[in-house]
Amino acid sequence: MIDLHTHTFFSDGELVPSEHLRRVEVLGYQAVAITDHADSSNMDFIIPRIIKVAHDLNRFSETLLIPGIELTHVPPPLFAELTAKARELGAKVIVAHGETVVEPVKPGTNRAALEAGVDILSHPGLISIEDVELAASKGIFLELSGRKGHSLSNGHVAKLAEEAGALLAVNADAHGPGDFLTSQMAEIVALGAGLSKKRYEKIRKDMADFVERISK
């Protein structure tokens, strides 16, 4: 199991990173990214601290902790600047808080995030086929979310991703102990979105390849 979108008490999550990592280690995770919510107000505070704790914990854990960030409700014109800044600060995974159907995310966020070259567009809502095609051309993951509300558009996202050949990721968007996906539940998220078991295995491989690439 790999999850590239989770939250700790550095934003609106419940756990310190040490417990966060231990919870998924017990579940048999290969890797987990901590991607706390950020904008220009707190990005330079969060990323260095996640990098530090990842350095400390990865010496003792069977699960790899990956430092990341989720750019959240960022005005579309700021996405390129903040994406570049996040990479400069050392974030290994940059998630964009997409145009979920359950929050008033500003229209144009999906497109701006994709153009900025984020790694994952999370819960992109009723994303357009044009944006899905852009994600496919840039090798950006579109998220199938295990989180209530955000998951309402998973079927739409999966359908268009299949049409355009875009990468997909299954993530929990976990904020607390009860949110982490087991391997069985992650598969259910994919199957519930209309994908086959074979396609879900491809998702798992793509996510593992990504982790291997950014870990070098």
Give the DSSP per-residue string, 106-130: PTTHHHHHHHHT-SEEES--S--HH
Instruction: Note the pLDDT of residue 80.
Output: 98
pLDDT digits (tens, 9 = 90+) for 161-180: 999 999 999 999 999 999 99
Where do the H-state alpha helices sit in the chain? 17-26, 43-57, 79-89, 109-116, 129-138, 154-164, 183-192, 197-214
pLDDT digits (tens, 9 = 90+) for 23-80: 999 999 999 999 999 999 999 999 999 999 999 999 999 999 999 999 999 999 999 9
Give the list of residues 6+ apart from residue 35 with CB closer than 8 angstroms, or none.
Answer: 4, 5, 6, 7, 68, 69, 70, 93, 95
Which residue segments constitute the domains of the chain, with CATH numbers given?
2-214 (3.20.20.140)
Q: 143, 138, 140: which is closest to 158 by C-alpha?
A: 143
Q: Average of pLDDT values for 123-133?
A: 98
Could you give the C-alpha distances from 149 to 71, 101, 153, 155, in angstroms and in order?
A: 19, 7, 8, 13
Q: Average of pLDDT values for 113-142?
A: 98
pLDDT digits (tens, 9 = 90+) for 76-121: 999 999 999 999 999 999 999 999 999 999 999 999 999 999 999 9
Q: Average of pLDDT values for 145-157?
A: 98
Instruction: Note the pLDDT of residue 62.
Output: 98
pLDDT surpassing 90 at residue 216: no
